[in-house]
Amino acid sequence: MANPKKTVKRHCWSNLFTHWSVAISTIVLFISGFGQMPMYARYGFTKIPGFSWSGNYKITLNLHYAAAIVLIFAVTYHLAVSLMRKEFSLLPRRGDLRESWQIIKAMLGFGKEPESDKYLAEQRIAYLYIAVNVMILLITGIIKVLKNTDFYQPGASFIFWVSNIHNAATFALLFGVFGHLVAFVFKDNRKLLPGIFTGHICCEYAKHRHSKWYCTLDVPETTDQLPAVQGEILTVGD
């Protein structure tokens, strides 16, 4: 039995940067977007001490634009890095739907969990779902920004569709992010959490839950060997 404190590197700092710049900008876009909706005054939220600013469209609009800049930067960075490094482990594969059903069944105690690569089948599906919605929001958002300038005034029905696709994708993404967070309520997934903060997860967990990925790592059998390029072994408190 290996030392449970032994960890394996799962995410490089570039992945952590991508995840958190997308996550934080998206959360700010949700908050400021709902301010644009116009919800906070309608539901009396502005009456809560410290939140009167939330009803100020000037503030929420500027916040939305600022967060959109961060999101556009993060998304192009992510796409470009993935292409240049040829990292496609998050893209869904054939059979992922069936496989994620097996994983869910196994988590509920029925049957054996299939062997997984770096990401579980449902993580790949979640990635695609979130990515598609973010892209829809990005494209419609950019059109909305253009329409707000002096020099571009598209027709009424175009504005109608762009606005309402932006709104619908907001709710679809909210649902996706909610599901993403609920996933960590399940104990089986929770061991992935340290990974998105520190970059490392428990070695033992990686071995049994992501066995296919673990096999590709250059993990030495004993800890006294030099760390390998990918998947170096670290001991907490080292």
Partner 1 sequence: MAEAGQSGVGAMIDLSKCDGCKNLAVPKCVSVCREKNAANFPQPKEPIPLNFPLGTNEDWSKKKQLTNRLTPYNWTYVQNVKVTEKGKTAEVSIPRRCMHCDNPPCANLCPFGMQTKSQEGPVVIDKDGCLGGAKCRSVCPWQIPQRQAGVGVYMKLAPKYLGGGVMFKCDLCLDRIRKGEVPACVEACPQKAIHFGSKEAMRQLAHQRAQEISGYIYGEKENGGTSTFYVSPVSFKSIHKALMDHEVDGKNGRMGMKPLAENVLDSPEGMAKQMLFAPIAGIFAAGMVAYKTMKGAE
| Residue ranges in contact with ligand HEM by CB under 6 A | 10, 19, 22-23, 26-27, 29-30, 33-34, 36-37, 64, 68, 71, 90, 119, 123, 126-127, 130, 134, 137-138, 141-142, 144-145, 148, 163, 166-167, 170, 173, 177, 180, 192-193, 195-196
Least Cβ distance, residue 213 to ligand HEM (angstroms): 10
* Binding-site string for partner 1 from residue 178 to residue 207, where x marks contact by CB under 8 A and - marks none: ------------------------------
Does residue 49 bind partner 1 (CB under 8 A)?
Answer: no
Structure tokens at 132: 């598609």
Q: Contacts with partner 1 in 13-32 (CB under 8 A)?
A: 14
Output the DSSP codes for the chain.
---TTEEEE---HHHHHHHHHHHHHHHHHHHHHHHHTT-TTTTTGGGSTT-GGGG-HHHHHHHHHHHHHHHHHHHHHHHHHHHHHT--TTS--TTHHHHHHHHHHHHTTSS-PPP--SS-HHHHHHHHHHHHHHHHHHHHHHHHHHHTSTT----HHHHHHHHHHHHHHHHHHHHHHHHHHHGGGSHHHHTTHHHHHHSEEEHHHHHHHSHHHHHHS---SSTTSPPPSSS-EEETT-
Q: Which stretch binds partner 1 (CB under 8 A): 1-9, 104-112, 156-164, 179-187?
A: 156-164
Site string for partner 1, 209-238 (x = CB under 8 A): --------------------x---------
- Assess 153 for contact with partner 1 (CB under 8 A): yes
- Binding-site partner at residue 75 among partner 1, ligand HEM, none, CB < 5 to 8 Å by type: partner 1
| Residue 205, both tokens | 């967990």
Q: Nearest distance from residue 234's CB to partner 1, in Å?
A: 18
Told to check if 107 binds partner 1 by CB under 8 A, we report no
